[in-house]
Structure 1
Amino acid sequence: MPTRSLDSIDPRALGRRLQEARKSRGLTQQQAADALSLARTTITAVEKGERRTRAEEIVQLANLYGRRVNELLAPREPLPDFGVQFRTAMARPGSSLIQDQADQAVSDFQHLCEDYRQLERLAGVVSVPSYPGQYPIEGIPVEYAAQDIASSERNRLGLGDGPLLRLRELLEEDVGLRAFSIDLPSKIAGLFAYTDELGGCIAINARHPVERRRWTLAHEYGHFLTSRYQSEISVLGTYERIPASERLADAFAGCFLMPESGLRRRFSEHSRSTGGSFTAAEVCRMAHYYAVSVEAMMRRLEQVGVLPRGTWERLRDRGFKVRDAQRQLGLVPQVTHERSMPARYEFLAVQAFQAGELSEGELARFLRTDRVSARQTVRRLTNAILLLNEGEIASVPIDMSSDILRREA
């Protein structure tokens, strides 16, 4: 291994890669130290960048962690540390109660975003999304700003005023955001960060109900549109007084997911067909139609003036049970598996694997899964299912690594 490669890399960057590789392997610092006959404090110093790693140690660590030496030493552009960016967000009242959990979540989030960028480099892809500019909000009341921004974005993206059933795909494919769905501490709904190198990055809590995940996506998108360079962590139930930025992001989420014109039209159609009555059952149906929670729908209908203010609180105080009502109406949300990685991320990883840029073990690491599941992902993305004339089903392999623009000789 060339010593020059080892000497030219920032020890702090190498330390972060070694720490991430160790954790991905499920090893503690003590276990890694024992395997190399080193003191635990030495591993700690290496991972902090306080001690340079020797060439033979890199080889041993790469073997222990199941990585290639070149992967650990590959040149990468220096990226801002998310931990520094999130420090302000974590200074809010109540956030310190989950500081350790939040630190780990931020670290995992950054590694995912950096891996996304690494996959783009392996594929030779230059990602230049055409982001909208930040919307000016200074001096504008929160409700007016949220309504204006939501309407502008729906118009820009050609969305009309119906439900957004493929919200994550919309933000990934049409806006160009990197959106992950990962396991986070229960109190953390989502994370948002933006850097010029990585672009807009969002993580939502995969453990939360589907309606909550969609709301968090829209909420974080609101931060991207209005305060792009301020990293944000959504911690549930920590505010005594909600900051204006959070009120704006929540108001935007409501306006974006449930546009006023669509709600009023649906309300009018129902009123005409029922002679003016409007029940809690219809609110449940509208919430199901827009794929939001019943509480979110009811509060939004109050906001646009369709329902009297305080309707949700009165129903709740009377013992109204949302899940019971949904089951009775046959509106129980289907439990669907949501992929952790963006679709484009998975395609880039499989493309790199097919091109020989990644080993099977490295592919599994990038996909945050085991080798068996990684092979299943490869088969899923590289085989087209065709129905033959005889009615038989055939699987046709697809080479995702070849250049389809190159003409045959």
Structure 2
Amino acid sequence: MSTSERGQYSWLLERLRRARQDRGLTQAQVAEQMGMARTSLVALESGERRLKPEEMVALAGLYGQRLDELLRPSEPPRELAAQFRESAGRMPEEDDLRHATLALQKLAEDYVELERLLDAPLPTSFPSPQTVPTDPVAGAERLATEERGRLHLGDGPLPHLRELLENDVGLRVFSVPLPSRFGGLFAYDEQLGACVAMNSRHRWERQRFSLAHEFAHFLTRRDRAEITVVIAGYRRVPAAERFADAFAQRLLMPAGGVTRRFEAAKTASGGRVTPALLLGQADFWHVSAEAMARRLEDLKLIKSGAWDQLVRRGLKPEEGRALLGLQPRQADTVLLPRRYVLLTVTAYRKGLISEERVARFLRRDRVAARRLVEELDFDLDDAPDLDAR
């Protein structure tokens, strides 16, 4: 066996070991189902005994894996779950969260595989990692301003934050269901890149704040996986989390832009600061009413404690938005990035993947996958001229 073949064989064994662990199976359980001694399975996984073709097929079926996935001609990236264990001290006990970390790993690996097939690596614009400053709030203000400048964002709202982070920075962002108390996941790997999972079960405004929060971790703690917990009520918050929250607030609502537009709106309303003005500003900046009020308090544009006073007086933001004719925002539940979907369609059109693999890449059944491909794989140059008379 050549050096290259030995390397690829070791990658196969590593993928088999991970697949077994992902299924929650012990070596003893697998050995029993395979009709072999546990020591024989140990020898297989360690490479001491050569894996027979029929054994590989049986193990793939047992683990719910396709052979082409196990035989990918590339080294398996580091397990993201291991990064989360290292950062949190243990793997979170919630089954949904454990499944989400495994899903994030597989989604990122599939994304990289599509790029490999098409020789189309993800364009990235990664700045050098920053350290979390001693003063989290002042440091967050500075870094948020720098990033807006680096990405040429001006001081206006960021309605398409997910697309911005995907296309202009190079993050891989997926929308996956997480337990409600978790805002998102972030992990970085040299092979997989920067991977983010935002909670598809959260409201749209919360999702955007979580994305900006994870972006802060990417900018400062790239080597450390993060599980972001949505904290309610008083609780001592680590400096890195205070920084990430402050950065998210300032990235979404820059001081100069907020001040200028608030003052203009205040003038238009006769110098009065009303709930309607607050809700209008929140809608403009694509944030929640509470986040808007907290930012205005922070900038001393409204008095401290104004939001708490509005809550005590019974303000219901959703009812107020409806009265003002402001359209409700829908949560982003789209699992896959647009670029990922387009890569899948292109790979299929070029004959690089089968229809079955298209369905697997898109996480849809074959009928739905075929319909999506037909809708997207349409050459505009071949379209009839609708303006022709």
TM-score, structure 1 as length reference? 0.81
Q: Given residue 377 of structure 1, which amino acid in structure 2 is its aligned partner?
A: L
* Alignment partner of 1:205 is 2:205: no
Asked whether the equivalents of residues 323 and 332 of structure 1 are also in contact (C-alpha less than 8 Å), the reply is: no
Matches within 5 A, 1:120-131: 120-127=115-122, 129-131=124-126
Q: Which has the higher contact order (CA 8 A, sep 6+)?
A: 2
Matches within 5 A, 1:334-353: 334-335=329-330, 338-353=333-348
Q: 1:172-199 deviations in whole A, cap 9, x for unaligned? A: 1111111111122222210001122222
> What residue ranges of structure 1 are gaps of 5+ in the alignment?
393-409
Matches within 5 A, 1:87-236: 87-91=85-89, 98-127=93-122, 129-139=124-134, 141-236=135-230
What residue is the counterpart of 1:78 in the other structure?
Answer: 76
C-alpha separation between the residues in 2 aligned to 1:145 and 1:40? 59
Aligned-pair Cα RMSD in Å: 3.1
Deviation for aligned residue 1:155: 0.8
Q: Given residue 322 of structure 1, which amino acid in structure 2 is its aligned partner?
A: P
Deviation for aligned residue 1:118: 1.3
SS at match of 1:383: coil
Q: Given residue 243 of structure 1, which amino acid in structure 2 is its aligned partner?
A: P
C-alpha separation between the residues in 1 aligned to 2:107 and 2:186? 13
What residue is the counterpart of 1:354 in the other structure?
Answer: 349
Deviation for aligned residue 1:297: 0.6
The number of aligned residues is 373
Asked whether the equivalents of residues 83 and 224 of structure 2 are also in contact (C-alpha less than 8 Å), the reply is: yes
C-alpha separation between the residues in 2 aligned to 1:310 and 1:105? 38
Q: Given residue 199 of structure 2, which amino acid in structure 1 is its aligned partner?
A: N
Q: Given residue 388 of structure 1, which amino acid in structure 2 is its aligned partner?
A: D
* Alignment partner of 1:273 is 2:268: yes
Asked whether the equivalents of residues 163 and 289 of structure 1 are also in contact (C-alpha less than 8 Å), the reply is: yes
Deviation for aligned residue 1:70: 3.5
Q: 2:371 aligns with which of 373, 376, 390?
A: 376
Q: Given residue 347 of structure 1, which amino acid in structure 2 is its aligned partner?
A: L
* Alignment partner of 1:302 is 2:302: no
**Residue 89 to residue 310, structure 1, CA distance change in 2 (3 Å):** farther
* Alignment partner of 1:11 is 2:13: yes
SS at match of 1:197: coil
Q: 1:285 aligns with which of 259, 280, 296?
A: 280
Asked whether the equivalents of residues 135 and 225 of structure 1 are also in contact (C-alpha less than 8 Å), the reply is: yes
Asked whether the equivalents of residues 181 and 340 of structure 1 are also in contact (C-alpha less than 8 Å), the reply is: yes
Deviation for aligned residue 1:165: 0.8
SS at match of 1:351: helix
Q: 1:135-177 deviations in whole A, cap 9, x for unaligned? A: 34433x1111111111111111111111101111111111111
Q: Identity over aligned residues, as a percent? A: 42
Deviation for aligned residue 1:79: 1.6
Q: Given residue 276 of structure 1, which amino acid in structure 2 is its aligned partner?
A: G
Asked whether the equivalents of residues 134 and 226 of structure 1 are also in contact (C-alpha less than 8 Å), the reply is: yes
Task: Judge which range, 294-303 or 117-126, deviates more.
Answer: 117-126
Q: Given residue 286 of structure 1, which amino acid in structure 2 is its aligned partner?
A: Q
Q: Given residue 53 of structure 2, which amino acid in structure 1 is its aligned partner?
A: A
Asked whether the equivalents of residues 144 and 247 of structure 2 are also in contact (C-alpha less than 8 Å), the reply is: yes
TM-score, structure 2 as length reference? 0.85
